[in-house]
């Protein structure tokens, strides 16, 4: 019997993704471990490997399809001795159940087709027969587009399998938008037009740059963080002349074997300060505060697809050279969309450094479920007072954003004192 290949959950938080590209075509022989497709998740574009052997009999979801729910059948695999004729006798695709947190994280879900459809409306399989009645059968992407455009789905005619409403049905719909009373999300009386509606109304010229999954998820998480996490901010100035001198000497003695950055020292100092002062290395839950035993530092990296935070794990145990090489490797693969989920999910503390852009200071948004993020500014030469005498020093401002539920003001302040001691005395990080 043909085997279904279903949309895998490539991260604990993934409920849907974009099938970016098939690397195999119908009729190709497939062995276990072969890369068969590339899927754009909420954080990166990842390769999907086959877990069974056979022939790719039929592709059910085309390249470039967005909003494919986890566990939706995306292809059919023919076993030895089977032919295309066997596809006609295969049972209908089951109704997928989206994976929630802690869901299936296998590279590919491939199993014999089942005959019992799930009653869930979200993630409805393309081959599932809808029940007659008032219930609408809509693809997840079409539902999202309709919500964004204010379209009443009951007025849309579906052209998908068995009358299912798909993306093109919404995009080609010529009817009017639904009234605010029937819209999925109620609007307040003071709610005005969004940016696109206002630009269209005023005749402003613009170019639409569609949001990919990464940007949508980052936007959602940042909004959730600012709305649900009680932030407060602590700023401290660190004199980094000794750090710059140590960096210059280490890089000179390396003779090109490696090159340390200021950020490498910041990562190391942050990790050692968390080890020395673990009260700041925590996360909030309703039942308990989780205090972590290692300093797993998430480093914010800007990529063409959006912000991602690869993790230097147990950074307190690693030397500056090891941290530097690991960060370069992680950042490079982050920009290429090639990180594994374990390399960017988790972390106990985040660092966002905009100093290389000349930003003196800023406050970053906490990366849940972490309780702290350190925003690092540029090192700037300015007057400083040393033992009552005026001097010129290089000063770097850092701002700690803190979840007040898990970290009190005094705890955040004491953590910064420990961090400052390490960053201003870089030799102390080498012992």
Is the residue at 172 inside a domain? no
Residue-wise pLDDT tens digits, 20-69:
899 999 989 988 788 899 888 766 778 888 877 888 888 999 988 988 98
pLDDT(382) > 90: yes
Residue-wise pLDDT tens digits, 313-357:
999 999 999 999 999 999 999 998 888 888 998 899 999 999 999
Is the residue at 274 inside a domain? yes
**Whether 238 and 351 share a structural domain:** yes
CATH number for the domain including 327? 3.30.559.10
Is the residue at 302 inside a domain? yes
CATH number for the domain including 98? 2.40.50.100
What does the mean pLDDT of the chain come to? Answer: 82
Report the distance separating Cα 367 and Cα 281, nearest Å: 13
**Whether 111 and 233 share a structural domain:** no
Looking at residue 177, what is its pLDDT? 53
DSSP of 81-146: T--THHHHTSPPPPPP----TT----S-EEEE--S-----STT--TTPPPPSSS---B-HHHHHHH
- Residue that is last in its domain, among 62, 95, 128: 128
- Residue that is last in its domain, among 83, 104, 128: 128
pLDDT (average), residues 388-413? 96
Model confidence at 411, pLDDT cuts 50, 70, 90, reads very high
- Residue pair 324/260 in contact (Cβ under 8 Å)? The answer is yes
Model confidence at 157, pLDDT cuts 50, 70, 90, reads confident
Find the catalytic residue in 162, 231, 293, 404.
404
- Annotated catalytic, 404? yes
Q: Residue 150: exposed, middle, or buried by beta-carbon count in 10 A (0-12, 13-18, 19+)?
A: middle
Looking at residue 142, what is its pLDDT? 75
Domain that holds residue 11: 3-128
Report the distance separating Cα 23 and Cα 10, nearest Å: 18
What is the number of structural domains in the chain? 2
Is the residue at 306 inside a domain? yes
- Residue pair 130/162 in contact (Cβ under 8 Å)? The answer is yes
């Amino acid at each position: 019997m043909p085997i279904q290949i279903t949309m895998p959950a490539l991260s604990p938080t993934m409920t849907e993704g974009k099938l970016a590209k098939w690397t195999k075509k119908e009729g190709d022989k497939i062995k276990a471990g072969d890369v068969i497709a590339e899927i754009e998740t909420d954080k990166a574009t990842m390769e999907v490997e086959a877990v069974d052997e056979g022939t790719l009999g039929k592709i059910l979801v085309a390249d470039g399809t967005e909003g494919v729910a986890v566990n939706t059948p995306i292809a059919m695999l023919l076993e030895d001795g089977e032919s295309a004729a066997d596809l006609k006798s295969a049972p209908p695709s089951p109704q997928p159940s989206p994976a929630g947190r802690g869901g299936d994280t296998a590279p590919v879900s491939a199993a014999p087709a089942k005959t019992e459809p799930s009653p869930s409306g979200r993630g409805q399989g393309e081959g599932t027969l809808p029940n007659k009645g008032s219930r609408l059968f809509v693809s997840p992407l079409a539902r999202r587009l309709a919500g964004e455009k204010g379209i009443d789905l009951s007025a849309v005619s579906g052209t998908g399998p068995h009358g299912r409403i798909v993306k093109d049905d919404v995009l080609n719909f010529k009817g009017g938008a639904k009234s605010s009373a029937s819209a999925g999300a109620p609007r307040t009386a003071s709610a005005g037009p969004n940016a696109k509606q206002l630009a269209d109304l005023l005749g402003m010229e613009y170019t639409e740059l569609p949001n990919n999954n990464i940007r949508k998820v980052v936007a959602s998480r940042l909004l959730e963080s600012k709305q649900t996490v009680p932030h407060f901010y602590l700023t401290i100035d660190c004199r980094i002349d000794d750090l710059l001198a140590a960096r210059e000497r280490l890089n000179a003695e390396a003779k090109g074997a490696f090159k340390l950055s200021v950020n490498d020292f910041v990562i190391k100092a942050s990790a050692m300060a968390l080890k020395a002062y673990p009260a700041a290395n925590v996360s909030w839950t309703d039942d308990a505060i989780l205090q972590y035993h290692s300093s797993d530092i998430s480093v914010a990296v800007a990529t063409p697809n959006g912000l991602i935070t690869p993790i230097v794990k147990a950074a307190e145990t690693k030397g500056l050279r090891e941290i530097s090489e690991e960060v370069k490797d992680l950042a490079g693969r982050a920009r290429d969309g090639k990180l594994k989920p374990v390399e960017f999910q988790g972390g106990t503390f985040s660092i966002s450094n905009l100093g290389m852009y000349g930003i003196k200071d800023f406050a970053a948004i906490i990366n849940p479920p972490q309780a702290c993020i350190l925003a690092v500014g540029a090192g700037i030469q300015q007057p400083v007072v040393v033992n009552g005498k005026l001097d010129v020093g290089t000063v770097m401002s850092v701002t700690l954003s803190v979840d007040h539920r898990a970290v009190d003001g005094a705890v955040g302040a004491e953590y910064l004192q420990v961090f400052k001691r390490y960053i201003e005395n870089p030799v102390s990080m080498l012992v």
